Amino acid sequence: MGELGGFALSAWKGLEPGARIALMAWVGGMICLPIITHLWGDRALRWGVSIGVLLQAIAVLIVLGAAWGWARTAAVGIGIAALGWGVEFIGSRTGFPFGRYHYTDRLQPQLGRVPLLIPVAWLMMLPPAWAISALIAGQYNWAFVLLSALAFTAWDLFLDPQMVGWKLWVWEKSGGFFGIPWTNYLGWLLVSAGITLLLRPSGLPNAPLALIYAITWILETVALGVFWRQPGPAACGCLAMGAMMVWAWLSRVGP
């Protein structure tokens, strides 16, 4: 535990001041979200979700910018967002590769009936998933691509049941994972692997990004398990993301 705490402290100290501020605001906002939703209702929930995603994405971009420089960070960030939007645009119309679903009008603004917040959400979590993969696999290779997809898709075990519960998107046919079709998770694996293959990330600031991944894991576990009353997805997401983090930690500290 001492080594783990030391790693987390080192990762926190390695953050740029702007990233620290964004992360603290994000964590504070997510902790307050159940309270403000109870007090002010649905509109506060939607605003809270949007602001939380933006703050986390800003923190990720600042971390990448400090390591890569802003030109490369902008190129990768735009690439993730553009590819994420494109896949969601195609997927919500054709059913490929996720299965048939559509977004409601609750998240605004939208482009092509896809909320612009969705590609930002891809941006906020794919680089942290890359960092978890890099801690396990090391340099960019096929194992890195596969593990990135697994680490990213593990997060969606939390996300999809939560967002469907909030009626932000709707599946035409419910499926086997708390109402979410299994095709959705296959689609997430394929798309995140494809984006990783296209962008070929390297030289990642692993510790700060892994810290963001771990904070997301904690927040999602507590939020779904305690406040949003979805203990099943909370337990499954906790185990999946937790397993990826344990694997990353053991790979990092092992012989």
Does residue 39 form part of some domain? Answer: no
Tens of pLDDT along 134-147?
Answer: 999 988 899 999 99
Task: Please give the backbone phi and psi of residue 98, each rounded to the nearest 5 degrees, phi first.
Answer: -90, -25
What does DSSP assign to residue 14?
A: T
Query: If residue 110 lies in a helix (H) or strand (E), which one and from where to where?
Result: strand 110-111
Does residue 30 form part of some domain? Answer: no
Q: How confident is the model at residue 1 (pLDDT cuts 50, 70, 90)?
A: low
Does residue 166 form part of some domain? Answer: yes
Does residue 48 form part of some domain? Answer: no
Q: In the chain, how many domains are there?
A: 1
Spell 175-197 as b/e; 16+ CB within 10 A means b: eebbebbebbbebbbbbbbebbe
Tens of pLDDT along 8-25?
Answer: 777 787 778 888 898 899
Distance of CA 109 to CAs 57, 92, 146, 162, Å? 17, 16, 33, 20
Does residue 61 form part of some domain? Answer: no
Name the pTM for this structure: 0.94
Distance of CA 159 to CAs 8, 23, 59, 80, 197, Å? 24, 19, 19, 18, 23
Does residue 207 form part of some domain? Answer: yes
Does residue 208 form part of some domain? Answer: yes
Does residue 22 form part of some domain? Answer: no
Enclosing domain of residue 86: 69-253
